[in-house]
Amino acid sequence: MSNRRSFLKRSGAALAGLSLAPLVKAQPVKKDPIPYKKGLVISTWWHGLAANDEAHKIIANGGTAVDAAEMGVRITEADATGQSVGVGGLPDRDGNVTLDACIMDSKGNAGSVCFLQDILHPVSVARKVMDDTPHVMLAGEGARRFALDNGFEKTKLLTPESEKAWKEWLKEKEYKPIINIENHDTIGLLSMDKAGDIAGACTTSGLAYKMHGRVGDSPIIGAGLFVDNEVGGATATGLGELVLRTLGSFLIVELMRQGASPQEACEEGVRRIAERNNVKDMQVGYLAVNKAGEVGAYAIHPGFNYALHRDGHNEMIDAKSML
């Protein structure tokens, strides 16, 4: 008891003298603080083109970066032809489609859902967690119940195509993520609105044929996505276990805070993974944007591409890679 009392006394004294000045100050933005007055959207993989278009439409109409991010990735979630996000996502090894998603706004708020079943738009459930609950993350049955209670409809997510692919997989049951093949193609999207504010969203069905209950990096704030509106944002795709172990998106934003360009920060994020893992057969790709509207992209292996909507053009670009 006396220990507890002296601890409280000590921590009270410490708090009284506490300085909230940051140890590492965000480096001042060198360029125009609102570099892209028409907005900027960047997102992972080919499905990013359609997501960017939708996000950019919202920004063009004066919408916020967070609305743009949510509405953009909803396009990918609703596309049943894509087998790595939302409806049509490849199931786990037991045949269940389980979805992960998160969102961050420009004020540092975050919402997330993981291991969610039967709901078409996990990113919007994550948004609701962010906006309407005292929490950041809901998982599994709790997330599902929260979604149903809030008007999201129960939806069958396993399409005949994905069911067929899973049944085919069951014959060999070999679990092997394949580099750049659609068994792991999350959409991570970063948006900058006309005010220069940054937000982001990330949504996935995760690795195909994963163990039931497996959650990757995508819904984890700081791993699959991180936004700090003072500095910039970052998002990840690829083998989530590698991103989780290094908390990649948070790392990239912190490196940018210390003065790294988005490109340098993405490269360091990849290097950090490679120095601790044998990445011969494993892919991770990062995207980043800073307050100056500079973007970065880098992957372990060639083949990672991204969609960039800037200056009225929406185009696919091949990311540079370490190998």
Give the separation between CA 323 and CA 320, rounded to whole angstroms.
9
Separation of alpha carbons 61 and 79, rounded Å = 24
Nearer to ligand ASP, 184 or 291 (CB): 184
The single residue among 48, 91, 216, 232 that binds ligand ASP, judged by CB under 6 A, is: 216
Which positions from 222 through 261 interact with ligand ASP, judged by CB under 6 A? 237-240
219 binds ligand ASP (CB under 6 A): no
Distance in Å, CB of 241 to ligand ASP, minimum: 7
| Residue 159 burial by Cβ neighbours in a 10 Å radius (0-12, 13-18, 19+) | middle
How far is Cα 71 from Cα 127, in angstroms, rounded to an integer? 11
Residues numbered 108 to 167 that lie near ligand ASP (CB under 6 A) are none
Active site residue 186: yes
CB-nearer residue toward ligand ASP: 206 or 233: 206
* Catalytic annotation, pick one of 64, 76, 98, 186: 186
CB of 226 to ligand ASP, least distance (A): 14
**Cβ pair 191, 68 in contact under 8 A:** yes
Nearer to ligand ASP, 185 or 228 (CB): 185
Cβ 73 to ligand ASP shortest distance, Å? 13
The residue of the chain with the least Cβ separation from ligand ASP equals 240
- By CB under 6 A, tell whether 206 contacts ligand ASP: yes
Task: Pick between residue 184 and residue 301 the one whose CB is nearest to ligand ASP.
Answer: 184
Radius of gyration of the chain (CA): 20
Q: With left for phi above 0 and alpha for psi between -120 and 50, is residue 174 left, alpha or beta?
A: beta
Q: How many residues sit close enough to ligand ASP to count as binding (CB under 6 A)? A: 13
* Binding status of residue 77 toward ligand ASP by CB under 6 A: no
Q: Does 217 bind ligand ASP (CB under 6 A)?
A: yes
What are 301-304's contacts with CB under 8 Å, separation 24+?
Answer: 301/179, 301/180, 303/179, 303/180, 304/44, 304/45, 304/180, 304/237, 304/238
The distance in angstroms from the start CA to the end CA of the chain is 58
What positions carry a catalytic annotation? 186
Contacts with ligand ASP, residue ranges (CB under 6 A): 184-186, 204, 206-207, 216-218, 237-240
